[in-house]
Chains A and B, each alone.
Chain A
Amino acid sequence: MTEKTSIPTIFEKSNNCPLTHHRIPVSNLLNDKLSDLIPNSFLEPPHGYACDEKLILPEISEVELVRHYITLSKRNYGVDNGFYPLGSCTMKYNPKVCEYISSLNGFNHIHPYQPECQGALQLMYELESKLCEIVGMDAFTLEPAAGAHGEFTGILIIKKYFEDKGIKKKYIIVPDSSHGTNPATSAMCGFAVIQINSNNEGEVSLTELESVMKQGDVAGIMLTNPNTLGLFEREILKITEIVHKYGGLCYYDGANMNALMGKCKPGEMGFDIVHLNLHKTFSTPHGGGGPGAGPVGVKSFLQEYLPNPRIIKIEDRYYIEDFAKLSIGKVKTFYGNFSVLTKAYTYIILLGEDGLKRASENAVLNANYIRVKLSSLLDLPIKRLCKHEVVFSDKNMPNNITTMDLAKRLLDYGYHAPTIYFPLIVHGAIMIEPTETETKSTIDGFLSTIEKIYQEALNNPEVLKMAPNNTPIGRLDDVEAARNPILKFNCNC
């Protein structure tokens, strides 16, 4: 068992008086008194104290700074540390070449309003057209900063489309297995949410869908395919047909696109709008929770609604201007998370159509291998082919061991936990997504660890209840954290 430790914050390591770093020179152009340039009453007193004895920011030597954040980095777990089977998140390996390219001066040190940026515009233009090909859409915007931001963009397009046509629509349908962002986005865009139940095969019930669509004021459906159970919606063509029949539009949540590259296009399934998570499928890193990128693709009848500005190519030059006539407007400043886009573009041309297809195939192969191997141990609610992820329930767990206990014990063995308690329709869900970038021996090691934990659950359940033991810190009291929020250092100051 590892001894637990807390690390003092950088504020506690700070000197109690300002240091002089000489990172910045003093002015050699203008020596007027500062108060002649800006009234003194507009300025903070120069001492740098937030209150009597507390500095606004830490004052610390560079070596202490480096050691502090290196220490913190060692208390963090990334894909580069080990297996990260976090379902729905596609934690695949992030190639270093993509990082390297995004840091080139020609991409990193350019201003969004500068002239002479043809390389950046070309990259974005080509990325848009490659994404169109991959998902079967006619036009893409790269502006949204993350998946949920893409959802917001897409649902707003739906809203404006109907408003411009003078058609009143009130509802968006989401399945009960959907990501939380789907209903949250619909509500944020002013739609009421109708949640429809999955059938006992874990798929959208066509009869329920049709009866809801018949109401007539449903703007459309938000759907993930494969769904969050990792299952391909086999009736997908009928689903989109029903929605269209009653005048609705179909929105594809691209969170699970890693299952389908080169195997099937959302556009051909009948979807009208798609968002992709470049930080999932196209391997730009998650960055501890961002920055991501959530480009949105649409069929041609919606392209005039995309956010401005749009990029177009005339002869051999690229232009970025407000070309979309019915645009919903801008959803973000400038043109999106550009450096994330450079990584995704690099990834896509590196793998190419053959590599992307193989990535999806191997992701699905790995998930099904896990499905078959683990189904003798854990309860598999729906027993058929899965796609890139597989969801088990806690039904077969012995000695009142919960999904949480299993997840925390996995941390002890050096793995990241799977996604747990999601989707909500599976009791104690354990959602495993291995991705294509793991070796067979890594997956075999993971499987035998689960088996080992299962044996512990039978013979020594206490060790699971107390897990994790080998991490820098033990299970934390989240109830207390929410009841008595401490959100900054020394907050009684």
Chain B
Amino acid sequence: MDFSPLSENDIEEMLKCIGIKKIDDLFEDIPPQIRDPIIKIGKGISELECLQKLQELSKKNKVFDAIFCGAGIYNHYIPPVVVELTHRSEFYTSYTPYQAEISQGMLQAIFEYQTSICNLTGMDATNASVYDGATALTESLIMAKAISRKNKFIILQPINPEYHQVIDTYALSSDYIVDYKSIDILKQMDPSSEIGAVVIQNPNFIGEVQDINYLVDLIRKKFPQAVIIYLVIEASSLGILKRPGSFGIDIVCGELQALGLPISFGGPTIGFIATLSKHMRKLPGRIVGKTKELHGSQEGYILTLQAREQHIRREKAASNICSNEALCMLSVQIYLSSMGYSGIRQNAELNIRNATYLKRKIHELTSYSVVNFESPIYNEFLVSCKRGLYPKIEKLCIMNNICPPLKLTNKMIELLSIGSSIHFSEDFDYFLVCNTEMNSKESIFTFVEILKEAGEQ
């Protein structure tokens, strides 16, 4: 099946108008030795066959009833109204809103989204999204370099290992140097004016809600020149935690998947960067501003501050970003509007309660220990058990149609151990449990039973 509606007759007429005999004549400027290659991908099929084939393929993925895995992608409730409205094809089949007069819908939605994100983070300005949380962080580091004119950065551990890897990749391209440190190590460091930025992930990778007030004070004392970056990967926590802007943070960035986007095997998601007014011209990517008509009195919206961008500045641009995650942005904005602050607050509280309940239950079990039992948590926590126990848990979970928690791989442990104060022992398996509002009481009980059974085997 294809989607080109030209008939034989149409083609005949058009060729005649162009003054050529056959379609192949349109390609005669391609060197003959490379013209008309064979591509072996199979002949086209009917829509029905295609549908059946892909439905079959989709069934090879297990869709779990309950999910106890997070670690950067979070299973949250998405009200049907969000999906319905985002699927208006006036939105999803449009291009970047360069032609403002016929793109007011998307432009206004972006403006509203920018308002929501600024309000939620307590910051002054944000962009219309970047690819994901990790690239939001790397772009924030590039911003921090421009602001502080320094290229040495400290990332507080434990940070999500996926993010750690992306930071290291981007460090190959830019001339920045990154050090990973635990808070304990940070406390012992000598003051320095050489540090350009410090990154705090909150809640951190193992789910702990941190004392940001204390950390900001500490960092300002040690590294007075540093730009403080608050990284949020579980954005539903913004529904209850004190807004980062109230601590005097310079840049808030991260991932908004938790606010209205499906888990979708990890993508697409949406990165954001919010900052203070004084740094807004250093933001990468598209930004929408409000303005007036040139010849009239109505107010409207337009892409603005474009002098930062690649299509104007070429090699002098703030970033090379062009396409972003606009439709994900729309989902987030509609999600936030459908919930209101009251809704996301209630949801965040439920996450804290469900996860803390499970944390306590697991800690009571003889074969398991919650590594960060004493810390306040949002919706995740780290559990250890004797080595070799995890595969039993995984097997029982799958049998009960439960997506098991994430077992930390050797690579993850290696990354988390850099400059860290968590001691990982080779005698244990470590797994990160996530419990959102989506897991029913029954599935939580089943999960605890599974852990118990696996431990007793």
Contact = CB atoms under 8 A, between A and B. Distances in A.
B211 to A, nearest CB: 7
Interface in A49-67: 50, 54-60, 62, 65-66
Interface string A115-135: 111111011000000100110
A383 interface: no
26 contacts: A25-B437, A26-B346, A27-B349, A44-B345, A48-B342, A75-B108, A106-B63, A114-B62, A117-B62, A118-B60, A119-B59, A146-B324, A181-B311, A187-B315, A263-B36, A286-B96, A287-B328, A352-B43, A353-B41, A365-B26, A372-B18, A385-B28, A416-B95, A468-B102, A473-B293, A474-B101
Interface stretch (B177-185, B186-194, B217-225, B298-306): B298-306
A289 B97 contact: yes
- Residue of B122, B322, B344, B376 most packed against chain A (CB within 10 A): B322
A97 interface: yes
A40 B84 CA distance: 37
A67 to B, nearest CB: 10
Given A43-B240, A183-B314, A437-B4, 10 more contacts: A18-B341, A23-B77, A74-B105, A184-B317, A288-B103, A329-B165, A336-B266, A355-B44, A437-B5, A485-B289
Contact of B34 (A100, A122, A265, A471): A265
Contacts of A471: 101-102
Contacts of A110: 61-63, 263-265
B95 A353 contact: no
B131 A332 contact: yes
Contacts of B341: 18, 48, 55-57, 59
Nearest to B134: A333
B411 A37 contact: no
A159 B173 contact: yes
Interface in B70-117: 71-73, 75, 77, 79, 81, 84-85, 87-97, 99-106, 108-109, 111-112, 114-116
B387 interface: no
A312 interface: no
B259 to A, nearest CB: 11
Interface string B258-292: 00001111111100000000001000001111111
Contacts of B229: none
A80 B90 contact: yes
Given A73-B91, A329-B166, A361-B23, A115 B394 contact: yes
Interface stretch (A213-221, A244-252, A475-483): A475-483
B342 A20 contact: yes
Interface string B214-254: 00000000000000000000000000111100000000000
Given A48-B342, A57-B336, A119-B59, A350 B320 contact: no
Contacts of B255: 333
Given A21-B342, A70-B88, A329-B168, A350 B1 contact: yes
A474 B90 contact: no
A337 B45 CA distance: 25
Interface in B295-351: 295-296, 298-302, 304-307, 309-317, 319-328, 330, 334, 336-347, 349-350
A20 B18 CA distance: 64
Nearest to A292: B323
A269 B293 contact: no
Interface string A65-91: 110111111111111110010100101
Given A95-B3, A365-B23, A439-B6, A76 B106 contact: yes
B423 interface: no
A474 to B, nearest CB: 4
Interface stretch (A148-156, A204-212, A295-303, A391-399): A148-156
B315 A193 contact: yes
Nearest to A155: B173
Contacts of B169: 156, 307, 328-331
A468 B293 CA distance: 11
A23 B339 contact: yes
Contacts of B340: 18-19, 21, 48, 55, 57-60
A350 B91 CA distance: 24
A472 B132 contact: no
B295 to A, nearest CB: 6
Contacts, number: 693
B69 interface: yes
Contacts of B267: 112, 145, 291, 332-340
B116 to A, nearest CB: 6
A144 to B, nearest CB: 8
B174 A190 contact: yes
Given A19-B340, A353-B41, A148 B322 contact: yes
A231 B131 CA distance: 31
Contact of A334 (B33, B79, B162, B213): B162
A315 interface: no
Say which size band chain A's interface belongs to: 35 or more
A268 interface: yes
Contacts of A46: 345
A377 interface: no
A380 to B, nearest CB: 13
Contacts of A92: 3
A349 to B, nearest CB: 6
Contacts of A352: 41-45
Given A111-B263, A352-B44, A485-B280, A289 B324 contact: yes
Contact of B17 (A24, A357, A373): A373
A24 to B, nearest CB: 5
Given A75-B108, A184-B313, A372-B17, A27 B354 contact: yes
Interface in A136-174: 136, 145-149, 151-152, 156, 159-160
B149 interface: no
Contact of A411 (B18, B99, B126, B305): B99
Contacts of B437: 24-25
A337 B338 CA distance: 25
B266 A334 contact: yes
A305 B108 CA distance: 42
A79 B93 CA distance: 5
B134 A332 contact: yes
B326 A288 contact: yes
A287 B132 CA distance: 16
B356 A30 contact: yes
Interface stretch (B46-54, B363-371, B449-457): B46-54
A308 B26 CA distance: 40
A283 B4 CA distance: 12
Given A38-B376, A333-B162, A411-B101, A181 B47 contact: no
A224 interface: no
A159 B175 CA distance: 13
B401 to A, nearest CB: 10
B131 A487 contact: no
Contacts of A187: 315-317, 320
A200 interface: no
B172 A21 contact: no
B30 A481 contact: no
B350 A335 contact: no
Contacts of B2: 350-351, 355, 358-359
B97 A156 contact: no
B293 A122 contact: no
